């Protein structure tokens, strides 16, 4: 088959290219300003200064104080620290943790591991759009509850959870029971894409990621509200206020802070642009392809994520066919697509395994153009038609 020269990226929810403006601010911190932030000499002190400036920048962009931001290497690490760090620091008060059933695998697996260590985990059901019902959080809270962790928006279907409402419920429950229940949200898919303010959301901990917002890989943050009792996972030289020992990755952190600043500045305009493109994409797909279904909340959804399932086709086959045509998309999340199991998120929304296996996620971003949408709308219906012709299940 003739190889297609066109290369269109529709997988921005998996990762993003680094914005050239971000690369530019990072460059000096590789070879010129390369010191270790813990060194007392000038090489160390000049990078320590930029590290603290980056911390101030990230903090101010989410309504936090600088001493409430810990830089980590990834959202996976931040989520592990949030769950395990809170669990172990507070186990004298209780052993119960509440999460949703559609969390990212790094939260699901951390919770599963904590279960093996004697903690009790409640996994809240979601509705057909992937929404957690705040009342269910209220019902699940008991006197042993020490942590609630619900993601801000889901990475596969884009549904935005009612974090503010859940935060209020948790606060009122704390007053009733005179105990502390920490509230964590995984904002890896929302930070820099929709407004994120830790006080408005009412969270004690919040995970943010750099490589989802045109920053480099290798940098992320965990917001930890002042006074939170948390135990580090990495012990050593005492970096990051003793909560994350490891020589600090200054270039990546500088890039992360810059990427977040740009994303926040451009958010409103970019979201209007992306919403229009996504609407065109969704309407086009649902019009041109019969027996295609949209997954995720129709309104309460990130402006850049569209997830469909197509009767009678395997999502993986569509991904491969589209790749040959120069279009990069994913089935479910990039993190789970190497496994053959159906996505736990789609199953939680009520899809049957065969329906979940026929899903396709298209995620748009900074370099998505209208002509890219037009190209997808031209080739995807043909791909689905061809696959359905050879499908043993499609009638």
Ligand X SMILES: Cc1ncc(COP(=O)(O)O)c(C=O)c1O
CB of 72 to ligand X, least distance (A): 9
**DSSP H/E element including 315:** helix 315-324
Sole binder of ligand X in the list 186, 204, 311, 372 (CB under 6 A)? 186
In angstroms, rounded to a whole number, what is the distance separating the alpha carbons of residues 161 and 1? 44
In angstroms, rounded to a whole number, what is the distance separating the alpha carbons of residues 304 and 273? 10
Q: What are the structure tokens assigned to 4, written together?
A: 């297609």
Strands 220-224 and 205-209 come out as antiparallel
- Closer Cβ to ligand X, 131 or 313, answer by number: 131
- 209 binding ligand X? (CB under 6 A): yes
Task: Pick the piece of the chain touching ligand X (CB under 6 A) from 69-77, 237-245, 267-275, 311-319.
Answer: 69-77
CB of 144 to ligand X, least distance (A): 26
- Is position 221 annotated as part of the catalytic site? no
Single out the residue of 298, 273, 379, 259 nearest to residue 8, CA to CA: 379
Could you say which DSSP state residue 242 is in? G
Reading phi first (left if > 0) and then psi (alpha if -120 to 50, else beta), residue 248 is in beta
CB of 271 to ligand X, least distance (A): 18
- 61 binding ligand X? (CB under 6 A): no
Given a contact cutoff of 8 angstroms between Cβ atoms, the answer to whether 214 and 16 are in contact is yes
- Closer Cβ to ligand X, 256 or 384, answer by number: 256
User: What is the footprint of ligand X within residues 130-159 (CB under 6 A)?
Assistant: 151, 155
In angstroms, rounded to a whole number, what is the distance separating the alpha carbons of residues 343 and 309? 12
- 233 binding ligand X? (CB under 6 A): no
Give the residues across from 120 on adjacent strands: 96
- 305 binding ligand X? (CB under 6 A): no
CB of 332 to ligand X, least distance (A): 11
Sole binder of ligand X in the list 8, 47, 62, 75 (CB under 6 A)? 75
- Closer Cβ to ligand X, 80 or 355, answer by number: 80
In angstroms, rounded to a whole number, what is the distance separating the alpha carbons of residues 102 and 229? 26
- Closer Cβ to ligand X, 47 or 81, answer by number: 81
Rounded to the nearest 10 degrees, the angle between the axes of helix 370-389 and helix 315-324 is 120
Those residues with Cβ within 8 angstroms of residue 303's Cβ, 6 or more apart along the chain or in another chain: 193, 194, 271, 274, 275, 278, 364
> Residue 32's CB: how many other CB atoms inside 10 A?
9
- Closer Cβ to ligand X, 218 or 312, answer by number: 218
- 355 binding ligand X? (CB under 6 A): no
- 76 binding ligand X? (CB under 6 A): yes
Sole binder of ligand X in the list 84, 104, 244, 301 (CB under 6 A)? 104
Task: Pick the piece of the chain touching ligand X (CB under 6 A) from 70-78, 229-237, 257-265, 271-279.
Answer: 70-78
- 106 binding ligand X? (CB under 6 A): yes
Rounded to the nearest 10 degrees, the angle between the axes of helix 42-61 and helix 250-288 is 30
In angstroms, rounded to a whole number, what is the distance separating the alpha carbons of residues 188 and 153? 8
In angstroms, rounded to a whole number, what is the distance separating the alpha carbons of residues 202 and 184? 9
- Closer Cβ to ligand X, 95 or 210, answer by number: 210
- 188 binding ligand X? (CB under 6 A): yes
CB of 251 to ligand X, least distance (A): 17
- Closer Cβ to ligand X, 95 or 304, answer by number: 304
Work out the burial of residue 339: count CB atoms within 10 Å of its CB; fewer than 13 is exposed, 13-18 middle, 19 or more buried. Answer: exposed
- Which phi and psi (to 5°) does residue 96 adopt? -105, 130
Catalytic residue among 233, 328, 335, 347: 335
CB of 155 to ligand X, least distance (A): 3
Single out the residue of 77, 79, 72, 74 nearest to residue 97, CA to CA: 79
CB of 260 to ligand X, least distance (A): 15
Task: Pick the piece of the chain touching ligand X (CB under 6 A) from 24-32, 84-92, 182-190, 292-300.
Answer: 182-190
- Closer Cβ to ligand X, 104 or 344, answer by number: 104
Q: What are the structure tokens assigned to 176, written together?
A: 């009733």
> Residue 304's CB: how many other CB atoms inside 10 A?
24
- 189 binding ligand X? (CB under 6 A): yes
Given a contact cutoff of 8 angstroms between Cβ atoms, the answer to whether 188 and 194 are in contact is no
- 335 binding ligand X? (CB under 6 A): yes
Task: Pick the piece of the chain touching ligand X (CB under 6 A) from 59-67, 68-76, 125-133, 160-168.
Answer: 68-76
List of residues contacting ligand X (CB under 6 A): 74-76, 79, 104, 106, 151, 155, 186, 188-189, 209, 211, 333, 335
Task: Write out the catalytic residue numbers.
Answer: 335
């Amino acid at each position: 088959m003739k190889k297609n020269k066109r290369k269109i990226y529709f997988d921005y929810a998996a990762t993003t290219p680094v914005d050239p403006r971000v690369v530019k601010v990072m460059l000096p911190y590789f070879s010129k300003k390369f010191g270790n932030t813990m060194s007392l000499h000038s090489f160390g002190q000049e990078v320590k200064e930029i590290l603290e400036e980056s911390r101030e920048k990230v903090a101010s962009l989410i309504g936090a104080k600088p001493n409430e931001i810990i830089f980590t290497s990834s959202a996976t690490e931040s989520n592990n620290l949030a769950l395990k760090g809170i669990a172990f620091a507070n186990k004298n008060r209780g052993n119960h943790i509440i999460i949703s059933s559609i969390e990212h695998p790094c939260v699901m697996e951390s919770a599963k591991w904590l279960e093996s260590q004697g903690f009790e985990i409640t996994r809240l059901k979601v509705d057909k759009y992937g929404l957690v019902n705040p009342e269910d959080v209220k019902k699940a809270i008991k006197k042993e509850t020490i942590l609630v962790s619900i993601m801000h928006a889901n990475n596969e279907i884009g549904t935005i959870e009612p974090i503010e409402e859940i935060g209020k419920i948790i606060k009122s429950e704390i007053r009733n029971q005179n105990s502390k229940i920490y509230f964590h949200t995984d904002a890896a898919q929302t930070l820099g894409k929709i407004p994120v303010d830790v006080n408005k959301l009412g969270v004690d901990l919040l995970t943010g990621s750099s490589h989802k917002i045109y920053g480099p890989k290798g940098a992320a943050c965990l917001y930890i509200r002042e006074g939170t009792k948390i135990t580090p996972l990495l012990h050593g030289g005492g970096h990051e206020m003793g909560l994350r020992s490891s020589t600090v990755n200054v270039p990546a952190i500088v890039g992360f802070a810059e990427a977040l600043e740009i994303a926040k500045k451009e958010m409103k305009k970019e979201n209007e642009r992306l919403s229009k493109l996504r609407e065109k994409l969704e309407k086009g797909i649902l019009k041109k392809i019969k027996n295609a279904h949209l997954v995720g909340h129709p309104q309460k959804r990130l402006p850049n994520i569209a997830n469909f399932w197509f009767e009678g086709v395997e999502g993986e086959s569509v991904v491969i066919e589209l790749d040959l045509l120069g279009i990069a998309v994913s089935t479910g999340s990039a993190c789970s697509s190497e496994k053959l199991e159906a996505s736990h998120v789609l199953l939680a929304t009520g899809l049957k395994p065969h329906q979940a296996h026929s899903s396709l996620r298209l995620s748009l971003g900074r370099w998505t153009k209208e002509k890219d949408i037009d190209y997808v709308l031209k080739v995807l219906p043909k791909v689905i038609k061809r696959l359905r012709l050879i499908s043993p299940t499609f009638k």
